[in-house]
Amino acid sequence: MVRKEPLERWSIEKSAELYNIRNWSAGYFDINAKGEVIYQYRTKQGLVQVSLMDIIRGIRARGMSFPVLLRISNILDSQISLLHESFRKAIHAFGYKGNYRGVFPIKVNQQQQVLEEISEFGSRYHHGFEAGSKAELLAALAFIKDPEALIICNGYKDSEFIDLGLYATKLGYRCIFVIEMPSEADLILERSRLLQVEPWIGVRIKLASKASGHWTESGGDRSIFGLSLPEVVELVDKLKQEGALSWLRLLHYHVGSQIPNIRDIRSAVQEATRVYTGLVTEGAPMGFVDFGGGLAVDYDGSQTNYHSSRNYTVEEYCADIIETVMSVVDEQNIEHPTIVTESGRFIVAYYSVLIFNILDVTRFTPALPPEKLPDGVNELTQNLFETYQKLSVKNLQESINDAIYYRDQIRDLFKHGDISLRERALAENIFWNIVSQVSEKSRGMKKIPVEIEGIEVALSDIYYGNFSVFQSLPDTWAIDQVFPVMPLHRLDTMPSREAIISDITCDSDGKLDHFIDPHGEKLTLPLHELRGEEEYYVGVFLVGAYQETLGDLHNLLGDTNVVTICVHEDGSYNFVSEIEGDSVADVLSYVEYDIKYIRRRFREMAEQAVSENRITVQERASILKALEDGLDGYTYYEKD
């Protein structure tokens, strides 16, 4: 669908407003004078800016194909610093006597490079990891080098899991086993005494407080994991009886991954801190209170309590936690605990950008109807044509209602063989011209009839992107998560088309058809006309949390290429790492195909074709080379 040209000249300021980039990007991204999206950060020498298009040119020069997941390590470093420094400021401002320790939940992004960088950048703050399985615990142990950093052991724990943590404790790691169900206590007691290790343990509680949003089912009375308050009291009695109450050091809860409303956070903190003081009163040494995840990312930039946003700043989040904890523990004259949070989404979301090229476009631009209908057409087709001829601003609602009725009747006639294919095509073209005219004439109306609202969506273009929703953006399909999406260049000119974006899977759900908007969501995205052979690049931002972990092999489209850059204070940057995406052979092996068998089968087929004189020996060689190239090739579309 064509967007109307504004009276005044287009500018990068208008693009910044159109895509809301300065509100959702947390200052990390903007648009330069050339109309290209840039990454930026402020140093003592000034503002450093790097064009994503320059990075794209560098990627192409290195022979890598798109799509590419771009990681900017500076952002990861900055987010870790922002979180810790914000807590540090709040602690100082309120005179809090305890400390803050951050831990990264490995489930949010389990890639080795991500854990390596979190460990490196977080070392100055003693930033640790949260592990919910044996595999995640081993990953944490491999990359934690700081003895003061915490390893919070959540999830279902068998003897092997517990033994790993106990041996890690012997080696000097600071592991805390969080009891999430009553039966775990007996197993921890048994293994600890067998291995002669006195562990630190915590208890996860079910709070009555529950937040709103997409990711909050892990909180509330009906949460899957955690102990009810009667079960907590039973645990305390058991530990007292076993002489192990001194092991109880941490209280933990989790009410959601993305909590948009600060009031929900305060309510949960207050309730949990009351439980914490109760445990101290019972004689447990405690010392740590883990408020779990929940620090939200403002995906749409609206700064509201909408599920894809948040109505608070990071500084407000930290201050509210510190103030609430202080108000409760001071009332009971209890020592200020070390505060722990498991902010995973906030740490890694901004760090990754999915970049893909547009392969093609389909436009719903109907050809103009003939000035006169052919002789012998059906009366319904004549009525539809008259509706088109008489359409005006005054009868838009009536016209669209009539057009839909006539179109549906004509389709029924066609199904029963009462009109020809050519007449059906003529009627469809007339109908879409009516829809196009109604959309055009309704623009600027103060009050748009309900029947006409959203009609532009039916006329929107389909831009085909070289990526898979199911592999790279699974939350858009699974839970209708909305990420910021925008073109990465040509932003000094007006985007003249309204479109949805389809991926290259053969699935009707493989599309992006909901986009961020300060007032909610919109159903189309403004994009530019494609220009000949020139590549057109689109970026999906804030995809560092969960997307890589949850991605699947729909249509056997595998992991994308991954490039990580580090930007220096002089504005230069280097490619820290280049990780090749999955080949066709890789993804076939993931689903248990025997690649050797496939090669052998093709050789046999080719040799049989030679023996039957259907191909030459030279053709056999070309065919087998094509097979090898196909197996070694990228699973996504590659241009010659």
pLDDT tens column, 568-614? 988 899 999 999 999 999 999 998 999 999 999 989 999 999 999 99
Region 466-494: what's the mean pLDDT? 94
Token pair for residue 503?
């991926």
Query: Can the peptide bond before residue 260 be classed as cis, meaning omega within 30 degrees of 0?
Result: no
**Token pair for 429:** 């073209």
Q: Which of 153, 175, 318, 506 is catalytic?
A: 506
Conformation bin of residue 361: beta by default, left when phi > 0, alpha when psi is -120 to 50: beta
pLDDT above 90: percentage of residues in the chain: 78
Residue 621's identity, in one-letter code, is A
DSSP strands (E only) in 214-274: 248-252, 258-259
Q: Nearest CA to 149 among 167, 131, 135?
A: 131
Task: Name the token pair of 66.
Answer: 């798109």
Place 1 in a pLDDT band, splitting at 50, 70 and 90.
Answer: low
Q: Residue 153 catalytic?
A: no
Question: Has residue 455 got a pLDDT over 80?
Answer: no
φ and ψ at 134, to 5 degrees? Answer: -65, -40
pLDDT at site 4: 58
Angle (CA) 318 324 330, round 5°: 125
Reduce the DSSP state of residue 445 to 3 states and report it: coil
Given a cut of 60, is residue 349 above it in pLDDT?
yes
Q: Is the pLDDT of residue 217 over 80?
A: no
Read off the pLDDT of residues 282-319 as tens digits, 9 standing for 90 and up.
999 999 999 999 999 999 998 888 888 899 999 999 99
Residue 211 has pLDDT above 60, yes or no: no
For residues 503-513, average pLDDT: 90
| Inter-CA distances, 63 with 355, 521, 591, 627, 631, Å | 15, 37, 28, 21, 18
Per-residue pLDDT, 2: 61
- Mean per-residue pLDDT, 225-243: 94
What pLDDT sits at residue 44?
Answer: 80
- Do residues 40 and 472 touch, judged by C-beta distance below 8 A? no
Count of all residues that appear for the chain in the document:
640
pLDDT band at 459 (very low <50, low <70, confident <90, very high): confident
Chain-centre distance of CA 138, in angstroms? 25
| 454 pLDDT above the threshold of 90 | no
How much is the pTM? 0.91
Contact criterion met (CB below 8 Å) for 255 and 264: yes
Q: Please tell me the predicted confidence (pLDDT) of residue 305.
A: 86
Tell me, what DSSP letter sits at residue 634? B
Reported as a pLDDT band with limits 50, 70 and 90, residue 508 is confident
pLDDT at 219 over 70: no
Does residue 215 register a pLDDT over 50? no
